[in-house]
Amino acid sequence: MRRPAASRTRTGKGGLRTPSPGERFALRRERFKEAIRDAASGRPAMALIFSGEDRGLRTFSPDAGFYYLTGVQSPDSLYFLAVSPARDTEVLLLPATDPTKERWTGKVLSAGSFTEACEPDARRQEAARLTGLPLIGTFQQIEEILARPLHEAEIVFLNLPDDSPPGQVGPVQHLAQRLAASHPHLRFYHAGKLVAALRRVKDPGELALMREAMAITDHAHEAILRHLRPGMAEYQVQALVEYAFTSLGAQSTAFPSIVGSGPNTCALHYDKNRRVMSRGDLVVCDIGCRKDLYCADVTRTYPVSGRFTRRQRSVYDVVLRSQEAALAAAAPGVLIKDVHRAAVEVMAGAGLAPYFFHGTSHYLGLEPHDAGSNEVPLEPGVVITIEPGAYIASEELGVRVEDDVLITPQGAERMTHAPRDPGEIEKALARPRRTVIL
């Protein structure tokens, strides 16, 4: 019998076997178990990693740590792990299958049920196959799942949200409060840092998805170069970019698209995108898409009229040299602050250091500012951005150049390839511009 595509393995270069999705997530969970054991110092412990709530008509995006460990994008789900010297237990709790709800919102990975012969039905088998987790239950079974481990465990790890508004108590915090009241012997810790440490180095499957997102984002920049002209509104560039994302298979933007022209080039996270661009303006286009949850983040600065002024070109050249210096500094064993220092030295040498007031790099992955410690040296498999900029508000002159970079054993690989050489940009803008027709 032919196996379903999702469960098949492939043979790659040199005859190496490519793990199936379920095997990849199982390998990640094994590393997570070891991290939990180390953090608990051998004491019995539990980890509860929630996917997040269904928020009605708002598009659901799973907690990045939950997705990293399970591959599941269903709301109201839980990955449960209990470790002890005697045994380990893993259970995946998914939403109960609800045909009425699915009629409105479509199918999600759900817990399924059992057949009359007490065998897992097709949907429960599918969940086990895709995730590599044989024990599947419904989210409503959480109390039943916790009953015995709660009496044995001394430590509980929870993926407590980092961005909750002050005073707001979400489902995870509520559970922690309830467990603390009923089991005062328990000690609670944040699981986020443990998962973040695992997510920092990307595996080959993650890198493949990120390269897809980056290629789509590069194409969107090329679309900007085919259409950019004076009289165009920032929101028209945004519409063009996001059309390119969708038409090329991305599911969403990784962050609100930044298209800032003229004075808006000096606002780092400007995203109103309402200004009409004029001849002589620069426009900073900081864009990125999500492909299967993985992000790209690429910034380019373009002259709206097609050519940089002498002053614009002089600032642009410094920023580009600064980026090249940072790229040369990025390598295994160095810190992100070392990459930043290399960029700042070039800026300082040109007198532009006072206009460069943000970090040069951040991690990239399941989130545009991805998990990872800046105090840990870079290593092969880490993906960061390198994005120096200069923002001279008195001249309405802002320039930023950003690429996504993979740390390799030899140094660093620039993964994004939209035109950044100023001569190449001007050559592209010298071609007949297309108009946006609605």
Q: How confident is the model at residue 6 (pLDDT cuts 50, 70, 90)?
A: very low
Task: Tell me what pLDDT residue 285 has.
Answer: 98
Q: How confident is the model at residue 106 (pLDDT cuts 50, 70, 90)?
A: confident
CB 148 within 8 A of CB 141: no
User: 5-199 and 204-429: same fold?
Assistant: no
Indicate the residue type of 31.
Answer: R
* Per-residue 3-state assignment (H helix, E strand, C coil) for 70-101: HCCCCCCCEEEEEECCCCEEEEEEECCCCHHH
Mean pLDDT, range 190-201, rounded to an integer = 94
Nearest to 37 by CA among 88, 93, 90, 79: 88
Rounded-to-integer distance, Cα 104 and Cα 111, Å: 18
Residue 226, pLDDT > 90, answer yes
Task: Tell me what pLDDT residue 104 has.
Answer: 85
Task: Tell me what pLDDT residue 166 has.
Answer: 45
- Helix, strand, or coil here: 285? strand
Percentage, residues of the chain above pLDDT 90? 80
Strands (E), 87-206: 88-94, 136-138, 155-158, 187-190
CATH 3.40.50.300, applies to 204-429? no
At 106, list the tokens. 């479509």
Task: Tell me what pLDDT residue 14 has.
Answer: 52
Task: Tell me what pLDDT residue 435 has.
Answer: 83
Task: Tell me what pLDDT residue 29 has.
Answer: 97
Residue 101, pLDDT > 90, answer no
Strands (E), 21-143: 45-50, 78-83, 88-94, 136-138
CB 301 within 8 A of CB 316: yes
Question: Per-residue DSSP letters for 342-409?
Answer: HHHHHHHHTT-GGG--S-S--B-SSSSS-S--TTS---TTBEEEE--EEEEGGGTEEEE-BEEEEEET
Q: How confident is the model at residue 118 (pLDDT cuts 50, 70, 90)?
A: confident
Task: Tell me what pLDDT residue 168 has.
Answer: 52
> Please, what is the average pLDDT of the chain?
92
Mean pLDDT, range 157-180, rounded to an integer = 73
Domain boundaries, the chain: 5-199, 204-429
**Residue 127 CB neighbours (<10 A):** 23
Task: Tell me what pLDDT residue 3 has.
Answer: 32
Q: Strands 88-94 and 187-190, how do they pair?
A: unpaired
CB burial string 286-324: b at 16+ within 10 A, e below? bbbbbbbbbbbbbbbbbbbbbebeeebbebbebbbbbbb
At 200, list the tokens. 């920092």
Q: How confident is the model at residue 437 (pLDDT cuts 50, 70, 90)?
A: low
Across 10-14, 83-87, 309-313, least confident range:
10-14
Task: Tell me what pLDDT residue 7 has.
Answer: 36
Mean pLDDT, range 64-87, rounded to an integer = 94
Nearest to 289 by CA among 240, 334, 242: 242
Across 191-195, 287-291, 427-431, least confident range:
191-195
Angle formed by the axes of helices 122-131 and 21-40, nearest 10°: 70
Task: Tell me what pLDDT residue 20 has.
Answer: 81
CB 379 within 8 A of CB 332: yes
Mean pLDDT, range 176-200, rounded to an integer = 92
Task: Tell me what pLDDT residue 112 has.
Answer: 92
Across 146-150, 196-200, 296-300, 356-360, least confident range:
146-150
Rounded-to-integer distance, Cα 353 and Cα 374, Å: 22
Per-residue model confidence as pLDDT tens digits over 324-372: 999 999 999 999 999 999 999 999 999 999 999 999 999 999 999 999 9
Task: Tell me what pLDDT residue 71 has.
Answer: 96
Residue 46, pLDDT > 50, answer yes
Per-residue model confidence as pLDDT tens digits over 148-167: 999 899 999 999 775 444 45
pTM score above 0.75 = yes
Task: Tell me what pLDDT residue 237 has.
Answer: 97
Task: Tell me what pLDDT residue 162 has.
Answer: 59
Across 84-98, 314-328, 400-414, least confident range:
84-98
Task: Tell me what pLDDT residue 2 has.
Answer: 29
For 19, which DSSP code? P
What fold characterizes domain 5-199? Answer: Creatine Amidinohydrolase; Chain A, domain 1 (3.40.350)
Task: Tell me what pLDDT residue 172 has.
Answer: 83
Mean pLDDT, range 125-133, rounded to an integer = 93
Per-residue model confidence as pLDDT tens digits over 410-430: 999 999 999 999 999 999 999
Mean pLDDT, range 94-123, rounded to an integer = 89
Q: Strands 136-138 and 88-94, how do they pair?
A: parallel
Question: Which is higher by pLDDT, 173 or 255?
Answer: 255
